[in-house]
Structure 1
Amino acid sequence: MSDKPRHSKRYGLSKLDPQWREKIFASLHSQRLKLAVAVLSCSGCRPAELERGVIVRFHNNQLQLGIYGSKVDAQTGRGQPVRLLVVDQSRTWAQFLISELCRHESRHMTIKYDAGGISQRLREKSREIWPRRKTLISGYTYRHFMGKSMKESGETAEKIAVTLGHASDFSQGCYGRSGSGKRSAGQHGILAAGATNPVRHSPKTDRLERFIKPVEKNASSVESVGNCSRFST
């Protein structure tokens, strides 16, 4: 294995301020940017999915996010066309979304932001808040954090795959790494997740788990949010 230092987002998570999401969010003044970052914080969606538009609604006393997958191929079975997440309402960014939804009679809205633009704004904020740090935050940092936190929280591979919009439970190996300290355990905020298609189990996942210390699995079900193919506003 090469001794060359790694600079990927998942390896850089351990170097970030433990409160980096909170500090970034508190520093935002633009309403449009704050809405976009709130969606990233709640869902860990891809920046390209945010660019397409994420539907946010308050339904059945739940804060729900509907995401149309950006990496989907029907012929190869890649990705999830649609996924629906139910998120923890106690988080600062979730409360902000709810307050904005209350301004709309329909209690739903579509939030969009340019994929390249959101990462550029976040990098600028990183330099502003932590001028001496080399590790900069981008849109994908939120996605890697989501994967890491869910792994450290003991969530099932199926629930993680659905949350990230994967068709297979093996793809999540590219997102985040469960650390020995488990600093991010319990911080992901995903209460339930559902997607258009069932998650395929890969034998590679079993081989990978042999090298990972088993943790108690969370009982949250991916079935509890219903049929996501019918998600609409």
Structure 2
Amino acid sequence: MEKLFEQIKSARSMMKSTTEWKALSETTRRDYQQKYAALNGRLPMEAATCKRTYYGMRAAYLHLEAKALRSSLNELDKWRKVAVENNGGALKGTESGFMREVERLGIVERLNRLDAVQNAGPFMGSAKGMIQKTHGKRAVGKLPPQWKTNVLGAVPKGSKYRAHVAAMALCGCRPSEFENGVLVKQVDQDTYEFTIAGKKTGPRTKDGKTFTTGQSLRVLTISRLDDLDKHGQVRPEFIALERAMNGKKNMELMAKANAIRDTVINASEKAFPNLGNKPTAYSFRHAFASELKAVNGEDSDDTAAALGHASTKTQQGYGYAKSGGGGVSCKAKASDVIRTPHKTRKKALLKEFQPPAVSMPSPNAPKVPMPAYTISRKLKPSMRY
């Protein structure tokens, strides 16, 4: 009993004041709540996969777990005050009830867990973010139907990256392009315009020739009426983006690429816990390319402009036309001229293995060539003007 009192007294002295917690910004509080919910009863050292996530989870855990412990101790103080009053003002005789109340509130377990987190040594794991292989176009075709809807639904509604994931699902932008900022403009009730500053850009030299790679700027216009699901309903990506904009006509989405990737990976783990081939952030880009290829065909300038490519050749590494539903209607404008230096592999193979055409004579062709038809330059008197 005395040891428990000492432990509670020590915990009270280490707790921060309520005014110090209130001084936190609303963004930090929301971030702590998301990280604490992601722990789902685990300690930060059990759930973290890298140093960055560990120390963020640790701060969130110490914040909210101490807050919960303070609430439990206040409730215990109220019980103790009532018990002493009912016992004639004597503390003796209330020990058994006090221990039952401590057990009911889970105070001992909270104290031990807080002590373990506070006294834990430095994180010895990887310093990098969550590791997951980037999806290729073949892997995207193996994903379950409606995977985009499931992943978006698994992103917490209060997450500040929910709009970013919805934007990737709609316009296929790269996670790294959010570091430059993606401007979203609602043109009208059903149409959105995405202005994207390219990330993979710059000069490149090959075979003595210098050319640019990627589009430094591209603008995509997408209407939700042209991208309805099989039931004729608006896709949830549009609804999520509209709610995130909250009535605003313009919104700039900015974030670190690692934060976007981790958000999608966590959502994929939640949506598909038993799936080995889980979606990643780049899965949205491959799926978007498949949709564009189903509409525009292979080697399309429009597809290259929408994906931010400087050459039509680059789109060979993204998606398959056969796996795209063909429902996306996207108008794209690119800042740089798009090169068309090649023919598709399919067309090249057909040309290589196709035998030369042989002209066959018609069965009704005359044996002797017909004389050339000539027009006399002399006109009849009746035909003169």
- Deviation at residue 12 of structure 1 after TM alignment: 0.6
Letter in 1 for 2:161: L
Provide the C-alpha distance between the structure 2 equivalents of 1:186 and 1:206, rounded to a whole number of angstroms. 20
- Deviation at residue 208 of structure 1 after TM alignment: 4.2
Which of the two has greater helix per residue?
Answer: 2
Where structure 2 has 5 or more consecutive residues not aligned to the other structure, the ranges are 1-132, 204-209, 225-233, 351-385
Equivalent residue, structure 2, for 1:34: 162
Provide the C-alpha distance between the structure 2 equivalents of 1:163 and 1:211, rounded to a whole number of angstroms. 27
The reply on whether 1:162 has 2:305 as its aligned counterpart is yes
Provide the C-alpha distance between the structure 2 equivalents of 1:112 and 1:196, rounded to a whole number of angstroms. 21
- Residues 127 and 160 of structure 1: CA distance in aligned 2, closer, same or farther (over 3 Å): same
Letter in 2 for 1:16: L
- Deviation at residue 176 of structure 1 after TM alignment: 1.4
Q: Is the 8 A contact 2:297 2:321 kept in 1?
A: no
The reply on whether 1:83 has 2:186 as its aligned counterpart is no
- Aligned mate of 1:14, from 138, 141, 144: 141
Aligned length: 200
Report Cα offsets for 1:71-122 as digits up to 9, x if no partner: 1115631111110001132432223323444533xx1010122211211221
TM-score (norm 1): 0.77
Report Cα offsets for 1:17-49 as digits up to 9, x if no partner: 110001111222234121010110111111110
Map 1:152-231; keep pairs closer than 5 Å: 152-155=294-297, 157-179=300-322, 182=323, 184-187=324-327, 189-203=328-342, 205-210=343-348
Q: Is the 8 A contact 2:135 2:280 kept in 1?
A: no
TM-score (norm 2): 0.48
Equivalent residue, structure 1, for 2:195: 66
Provide the C-alpha distance between the structure 2 equivalents of 1:98 and 1:117, rounded to a whole number of angstroms. 22
Equivalent residue, structure 1, for 2:290: 148
- Residues 206 and 155 of structure 1: CA distance in aligned 2, closer, same or farther (over 3 Å): closer
Provide the C-alpha distance between the structure 1 equivalents of 2:297 and 2:221, rounded to a whole number of angstroms. 15
Letter in 2 for 1:195: A
- Aligned mate of 2:254, from 112, 115, 118: 112
Equivalent residue, structure 2, for 1:95: 239
Letter in 1 for 2:215: Q
Question: Secondary structure, in 3 states, of the residue corresponding to 1:162?
Answer: helix
Provide the C-alpha distance between the structure 1 equivalents of 2:181 and 2:216, rounded to a whole number of angstroms. 13
Q: Is the 8 A contact 2:152 2:267 kept in 1?
A: no
- Residues 155 and 96 of structure 1: CA distance in aligned 2, closer, same or farther (over 3 Å): farther
- Residues 88 and 210 of structure 1: CA distance in aligned 2, closer, same or farther (over 3 Å): farther
- Deviation at residue 170 of structure 1 after TM alignment: 0.4
Letter in 2 for 1:176: G
- Deviation at residue 59 of structure 1 after TM alignment: 2.4
Q: Is the 8 A contact 2:154 2:268 kept in 1?
A: no
The reply on whether 1:135 has 2:135 as its aligned counterpart is no
Q: Is the 8 A contact 2:134 2:280 kept in 1?
A: no
Letter in 1 for 2:152: F
Letter in 2 for 1:14: G
Q: Is the 8 A contact 1:63 1:86 kept in 2?
A: yes
Provide the C-alpha distance between the structure 1 equivalents of 2:344 and 2:271, rounded to a whole number of angstroms. 41
Tell me which structure has the larger Cα radius of gyration.
Answer: 2
- Residues 24 and 76 of structure 1: CA distance in aligned 2, closer, same or farther (over 3 Å): same
Q: Is the 8 A contact 2:183 2:251 kept in 1?
A: yes
Provide the C-alpha distance between the structure 2 equivalents of 1:7 and 1:36, rounded to a whole number of angstroms. 18
What fraction of aligned residue pairs are identical, expressed as a percent? 24
Over aligned residues, Cα RMSD in angstroms?
A: 2.3
Letter in 2 for 1:26: G
- Deviation at residue 168 of structure 1 after TM alignment: 0.5
Provide the C-alpha distance between the structure 2 equivalents of 1:32 and 1:185, rounded to a whole number of angstroms. 30
Letter in 1 for 2:267: K
Equivalent residue, structure 2, for 1:49: 177
